Amino acid sequence: MGGGVEEWTQERTLEKPANQLDLSEEELNEEITRILTSNNPHAPQNIVRYTYKERTYKPMSTVDQLAVHCVLEGNLIHKDSDEARSQRAQQGLIKVYYCNPGEEAVEMVEGEGGVNEEMGDEESNVRKERKLKNQFNFWDRGSQTLNNPLRCTMYDVYTEELQLQEKNKEKQRTQSSKEDKRETKLVPTETQSDDISKLARVSTNMERMVVQNIFDDIAQDFQYFEDSADEFSEGGTLLPLWKFHYSKAKRLSVTSLCWNQKYQDLFGVGLGSYDFTKQGSGMLLLYTVKNCTFPQYIFSTDSSVMCLDIHTKMSYLVAVGFYDGCVAVYNLKLKTMLPTHKSSVLSGKHTDPVWQVRWQKDDMDNHHNFFSVSSDGRVVSWTLIKVLKEYVYIRYTLSLKRLDASTHLCGRCIDFHKEFDNMFLLGTEEGKIHKSSKAYSNHLIQTYNAHNMAVEAVRWNHFHPRVFISCSYDWTVKIWDHTVPTPMFTFDLNAAVGDVSWAPYSSTVFAAVTSDGKVHVFDLNTNKYKALCQQLVVAKDTSQLTHIEFNPVHPIIIVGDDHGYINCFKLSPNLRKKPKVSLLTLSGFPVK
Amino acid sequence: MSVEETIKRIQSQKGVQGIIIVNAEVLICNAGIPIKTTLDNSNTVHYAGLIHQLVMKARSTVREIDPQNDLTFLRVRSKKNEIMIAPDKDYFLIVIQNPSE
């Protein structure tokens, strides 16, 4: 027994491990302090940051010492937060009122009664809930797909919206006013069987561009060429520009020409035959100088077209007179080949060829009307009247002109005074010119013994109110003052004169065409006795020139011949001189 | 005047080398589909694809400057010939012409 205790009381010797550090006595007695800190031993101690100011890396003094051991996301939200409020509002337990900032927000619980509402002195605003932004209900511009859209796409979308809105409005309107039957235009619904029929406008543009490339030099001449030889001589020249010819109009002669006043590159050509024995079909063509290879509008007619006139204001209305005595009105806006209105035996057509038609100003009821002259002795005024809602037809109103039975008036040409619309001149086949008025039915104011053969053309001067010009197959061109019974000037052109026309820019310039293929241009201001220009424009023996017209704005003329060709010429500067003296002083009338 | 006749007339004009009508809708390969052409197939597809991009760029340029404006015609003149492009809402009409011929 004593042995175990003895073992215990024996001094226990320390056992040293083999690799224990050997320290000296002083070192063993050294006191070492141990500190307890809250530093995270895993936190890095040598983080450096780049400073742009000093452009170096500098060590950061403070390093985050937080060590996260465990994170658990909970689903509790504070009762005053937005989301909590919205939840409660949705559940409908509590009506929530927001007051202005600075006052206490008071909640009133519905279920409890008798709770005072402390709203504060001011009224509270009930505001719409602010939109909550979380990852499911959050969007801004940056997260949208289309950033920086083109202005044009935005514009397109807006215009579409606008159109939809307007359509809706119209639908509502038409629904409300279904009872009163309005004029509903029948819009032709073309079923586009051909894919490319939409390209009509585009293809006409393209054709004009191609033609412009081909006839580029002519277009340049038209715009820019000025004959410099005119400085050295008194006379002028005609520069040939475009030639217009339609292949199907080979055997027809040009019977009338007319420029469109609104679209000054467009002109109308009436084709037919002057020969009594060779009457066949006729054509009405409209060309534009932008495309000289093919006409813009083609209308085929049964009978020769003898005359045409394009309305000055409604530039899509073309009045046409035929050899068989009918008159017709074509509407260029419609895509039909037929005239919109045509006279017939019942409506009082002429019994002889219609030699001239002229549009007049709209009458008092705003109806369009025109006059026609025929060798059956009648001057007829036609009015387009709308009867019933859509039906439009020609009605023959009055105006018969007849002398006593012995002398029968065979009108060949007519022209209305520019200023006094009522007064007009009528040239006849006997060679006389009669001055009369629309107001008088049977009475003639004055008669001029003008020519020995039929009067081909009679025209009032554009500027001078008393002057008019006439021409005839008796080789002469005569200029008159309507107060004087004899002509002021007589020009002998050595060949039958087919047509004469005043220039729109000067009161003293006029041009005439003769059957020997020459164009004569006169300027009475420069030379009273001789033509400034007498130019052969077609082959002498084969063609005769029939008509001539000046363009209203451009310095060009068109000349038609009896083979269906239309030639366009540019006037040289000497032929384009405008009068320097104001005509206001001469006659008291304003210059146009 | 029908479109067919007009296009025949254009084809018969002096110097015209080819006419292509391209559908303006864009395919995945970013080119229009040629509908009608007078050139051979490979050239047509080539022209159609390249010109389509050019027209889109030109059109967006014009409309960016003024949204109410729109492109009506485009002419590309080069040493050897001239390419004329007339865009429509749904189609382009392309004509290649050598004007000096």
DSSP-based helix, strand, coil % in chain A, nearest 5:
15, 30, 55
Contact A423, A417 (CB under 8 A): yes
Give the residue from A125, A135, A81 showing the smallest Cα distance to A100: A125
Q: Beta strand pairing status for A354-359 and A369-374? A: antiparallel
Q: What residues contact B59, with CB distance under 8 A and at least 6 apart? A: B70, B71, B87
Contact A209 B84 (CB under 8 A): yes
* Cα four-point dihedral sign A519, A523, A529, A533: negative
Number of Cβ within 10 Å of residue A316's Cβ equals: 15
Give the residue from A440, A591, A463 showing the smallest Cα distance to A524: A463
- Beta-bridged to residue A436, according to DSSP, are A424
Give the residue from A513, A517, A524 showing the smallest Cα distance to A575: A524
Q: Phi/psi zone of residue A327: left (φ > 0), alpha (ψ -120 to 50 degrees), beta?
A: beta
| Mean pLDDT computed over B15-37 | 78
d(CA A367, CA B15): 49
Planar angle of CA A147, A153, A158, nearest 5 degrees: 110
d(CA A501, CA A513): 9
d(CA B39, CA B46): 11
Contact A197 B99 (CB under 8 A): no
The reported pLDDT for the residue numbered A103 is 43
d(CA A555, CA A237): 12
The reported pLDDT for the residue numbered A391 is 41
The reported pLDDT for the residue numbered A10 is 61
- Residue B27 distance to chain A (closest CA, Å): 18
- Residue B77 distance to chain A (closest CA, Å): 11
Its ipTM equals 0.89
List chain B residues with CB under 8 Å of A194: 3-4
The reported pLDDT for the residue numbered A557 is 94
Number of Cβ within 10 Å of residue A585's Cβ equals: 7
Contact B68 A194 (CB under 8 A): no
Closest CB from A151, A200, A213 relative to B99:
A213
Residue stretches of chain A with pLDDT short of 70: 1-11, 93-133, 135, 137-139, 141-143, 145-148, 176-197, 345-347, 387-408, 441-442, 581-592
Contact A152 B6 (CB under 8 A): no
pTM of the model as a whole: 0.70
Contact A290, A211 (CB under 8 A): yes
Closest CB from A203, A214, A294 relative to B3:
A203
The reported pLDDT for the residue numbered A401 is 54
d(CA B101, CA B16): 9
Contact A199 B91 (CB under 8 A): yes
Q: Beta strand pairing status for A533-536 and A423-428? A: unpaired
Query: Residue written as tokens 């800190």?
Result: A37
Q: How far is CA A81 from the centre of its chain?
A: 62
d(CA A427, CA B4): 47
Contact A222, A239 (CB under 8 A): no
The reported pLDDT for the residue numbered A147 is 63
**Res. B95: pLDDT tops 90:** yes
The reported pLDDT for the residue numbered B28 is 54
d(CA B20, CA B35): 8
3-state SS string for A94-125: EEECECCCCCCCCEEECCCCCCCCCCCCCCCE
* Biggest alpha carbon–alpha carbon distance for chain B: 39
Structure tokens at A449: 């013994």
What are the backbone angles phi and psi of residue B54, rounded to the nearest 5°?
Answer: -60, -45
The reported pLDDT for the residue numbered A574 is 87
H or E segment and range at residue A6:
helix A2-9
Planar angle of CA A402, A406, A412, nearest 5 degrees: 50
Nearest-Cα residue of chain A relative to residue B90 = A198
Chain B residues bordering chain A (beta-carbon distance below 8 Å): 1-4, 6-7, 9-10, 13-16, 21, 35-36, 60, 63-64, 67-68, 72-73, 75, 82, 84, 86-91, 93, 95, 97, 99
For residue B60, give the 3-state DSSP assignment.
Answer: helix
Cα-Cα-Cα-Cα dihedral of A547, A548, A552, A557, to 10°?
Answer: 140
d(CA A496, CA A390): 48
For residue B61, give the 3-state DSSP assignment.
Answer: helix
Contact B3 A155 (CB under 8 A): no
Question: Residue A36 burial (CB < 10 Å; 0-12/13-18/19+)?
Answer: exposed
Give the residue from A252, A308, A314 showing the smallest Cα distance to A278: A252
- Beta-bridged to residue A36, according to DSSP, are none
d(CA A343, CA A350): 9
Contact B10 A210 (CB under 8 A): yes
Cα atoms found within 13 Å of the Cα of residue A313, Cβ hemisphere only = 7
DSSP symbol at A288: E
Structure tokens at A262: 């609104």
Structure tokens at B33: 């589909």
Chain A residues bordering chain B (beta-carbon distance below 8 Å): 150-152, 154-156, 194-207, 209-211, 213-214, 216, 293-294, 298
What are the backbone angles phi and psi of residue A283, rounded to the nearest 5°?
Answer: -145, 150
d(CA B20, CA B47): 9
List chain A residues with CB under 8 Å of B14: 214
d(CA A159, CA A494): 67
What are the backbone angles phi and psi of residue A331, rounded to the nearest 5°?
Answer: -110, 115
- Residue B56 distance to chain A (closest CA, Å): 12
Structure tokens at B45: 């597809």
* Biggest alpha carbon–alpha carbon distance for chain A: 188
Quickly list H helices, A338-482.
none
Contact A472, A431 (CB under 8 A): yes
- Residue A68 distance to chain B (closest CA, Å): 53
Sheet of A423-428: strands edge to edge? A411-416, A423-428, A432-437, A446-449
List chain B residues with CB under 8 Å of A158: none
List chain B residues with CB under 8 Å of A151: 63-64, 67
pLDDT tens-digit readout, B29-87: 556 788 888 999 888 988 888 888 899 899 889 988 888 888 999 999 999 999 999 98
DSSP A480-549: EETTSSS-SEEEE-SS-EEEEEE-TT-SSEEEEEETTSEEEEEETTT-SSS-SEEEE-S-TTT--EEEEE
